[in-house]
Amino acid sequence: MEEERRLFYVALTRAETRLDVVTVQGAESVFIEELPDQLCEHHRPLSDDELEEIETDYECRKTVTGSVDAKFTENFATVDWDGRGLIDLNLYDASKEQNQRIEELNQSGEKVTFENCGVQYREPQNEADDPEYKRLQLQLDEDVTINS
């Protein structure tokens, strides 16, 4: 832990004008929490209440605006969430029409709005993954409307 702390502070002190630190919301490093608030600008896609809702109800539903950054497989894409960072878009439950629309948006780079989009924590990919690891993802299903 002390070696990680040392490396983190080396990175902080080497930054000349600005340092961007990207974390997983809801699972931030203790080192991030130790930074003085007056030196930080936080960009969080979810409020604390929404995070709590995900913890208790498995997901929350909200309007998400951004652009499709990449489509890696039939079931997953990445969305740039309105400048708040990249987040996975789970297409497993998406309709054929929704999947086609995501393909089009990936190629065009257009802004998109997902109405009533599910936001949830992604499960670890395999048994070797840390069960405490949390990663937010968007869930596209029949309840989501795609507007551009």
Which residues form the domain of 81? 48-147
Residue 55 has pLDDT above 80, yes or no: no
pLDDT digits over 98-134, tens only? Answer: 999 999 999 998 999 999 998 887 766 655 555 555 6
Do 123 and 99 lie in one domain? The reply is yes
Do 15 and 66 lie in one domain? The reply is no
Distances in Å between the Cα of 16 and the Cα atoms of 10, 31, 53, 147 are 12, 19, 39, 41
DSSP H or E stretch at residue 48 = helix 48-57
Do 136 and 68 lie in one domain? The reply is yes
Do 35 and 57 lie in one domain? The reply is no
Do 66 and 95 lie in one domain? The reply is yes
Which of these, 32, 42, 37, lies nearest to 12 by C-alpha position? 32
pLDDT digits over 2-12, tens only? Answer: 888 888 888 88
The pTM assigned to this predicted structure is 0.63
